[in-house]
Amino acid sequence: AQKITQTQPGMFVQEKEAVTLDCTYDTSDQSYGLFWYKQPSSGEMIFLIYQGSYDEQNATEGRYSLNFQKARKSANLVISASQLGDSAMYFCAMREARSGRRALTFGSGTRLQVQP
């Protein structure tokens, strides 16, 4: 069974508008971490934001915020005031604490295109 599900293969948003990228996850761990990475067309993986399962507040980093709904097992990324440079693939990922390897399990990604 998929551990990270991103149901939106592609999204369009107008410049300066906000956009929400969906992510749901599956784990029986109580302790886990959720990450969002951006992959522009150049190919590198850029860390955006992190949410721990015990964090009571939703994480924010500049224009990025993570809408964490633990009971629904969702960790949606919200990008406010979209810019043309936000056009990229976005990956949601999870790290489970009981896994000693601390590796990330990735979703299949959402391609975001920001239109002028």
Partner 1 sequence: NAGVTQTPKFRILKIGQSMTLQCTQDMNHNYMYWYRQDPGMGLKLIYYSVGAGITDKGEVPNGYNVSRSTTEDFPLRLELAAPSQTSVYFCASSYPGEEQFFGPGTRLTVL
- Which residues sit at the interface with partner 1, rule CB under 8 A? 4, 33, 35, 37, 43-45, 47, 50, 91, 93, 100-109
> Smallest distance, Å, CB 19 to partner 1?
20
| Rounded Cα distance, 9 and 3, in Å | 17
CA distance 48 to 66: 10
CB neighbour list of residue 103: distance below 8 Å, 6 or more residues apart: 95
Give yes or no for a contact between 75 and 25, defined as CB atoms under 8 angstroms apart: yes
> What 3-state class would DSSP assign to 83?
coil
